Amino acid sequence: MPISIRPATTADEDAMSRICLLTANVGTSAVDIVTFPKLPGHVYVEPYLRLQSAWAFLLVDDEKVVGYTVGAADTRAFEKDAEDRWWPPLRERYGKYLQDPADVKPGDLEYIKKVFSPRIAADATIAFASAHLHINILPEYQGKGYGRQLIGSAVRYLSGLEEGPKGVWLRINPKNTKAAAFYKRLGFKSFEGAPEEMIGLRFEDWVPK
C-alpha cells in the first residue's frame, strides 16, 4: 500500500506522541532524557487533536503512522483555549516536580516548564500570519519528499479556509541546520520583527516541488 496522507483523529494520539518523543531532542530521540515519555506529546501533539482552531495531518505507511504536521489556523484562539482547558490539568499533574525535581530528569523539567509557561506568539508573528504549524517525521522517512507533501497538505487546508490566513509560521531550533535548509527550500524565510528561531511562509511563495 503506498504512503498516504490523511487527517488525524484522537485515535492517533499515541502513535503521534511516540513520533514526537523519537524526534524531540533536536530531531533525534528523547527517550533517554525524559522520565515521562508522554511529556513531549502533551506539549506538541495532543492539544492539536483537541483544541479550537487546531488541525492535524498524518503521513501513513501501510496503516503505520510515520509522520505528522499539526497546527492552528488562529493561533490566538488556540492559545486562549489551551490556557483555559489544556494546561490546567497538566499543571496539577506535573507541578509537584518543579518543587521536588529529584525524581525526574532535566528533559522532564524542560517540558514541565513549557506547561507552566507556554510560549505565546509575539504580536509581530501574528501580524505576519495567524496560523502556525509543527512537523515531525521519523528519521527513516526523512529526505524523501514526504515533509514537503505534509506541509503541502497544511498549505492547501489553510489557504482553502473561508477568510483564512495568508501564510503560516513555525519555530525552528537554530541548531537544527538540516531542518532550516529544508524549510528554506519550501519558501519559508525570516520576517520583520521575528526572533531568530521564527520563519514564515506566504502562501503565494509556496514551492510545491
pTM of the model: 0.94
- pLDDT, tens digit (0-9, with 9 covering 90-100), for 33-68: 999 999 999 999 999 999 988 999 999 999 999 999
Whether the pLDDT of residue 196 is over 90: the answer is no
Note the pLDDT of residue 129: 96
For range 166-190, the mean pLDDT: 89
Residue 132 in this model has a pLDDT that exceeds 90: yes
Three-class SS of residue 8? coil
> What average pLDDT does this structure show over 168-185?
88
Average pLDDT, the chain: 93
- Region 160-172: what's the mean pLDDT? 94
Size (the chain), residues: 209
Give the span between the Cα atoms of 1 and 17, in whole angstroms. Answer: 24
pLDDT of residue 7: 97
Residue with cell 482547558: 85
Instruction: Please give the Cα distance from 113 to 198 (Å, whole number).
Output: 20
Is 89 a residue whose pLDDT tops 90? yes
φ and ψ at 62, to 5 degrees? Answer: 55, 50
Q: Which of 17, 27, 71 is nearest to 179 (CA)?
A: 27
What's the pLDDT at 1? 61
Where do the DSSP E strands lie in the chain? 4-7, 54-61, 64-72, 131-137, 167-171, 198-202
> What are the backbone dihedrals phi and psi of residue 104, each rounded to the nearest 5 degrees, phi first?
-130, 165
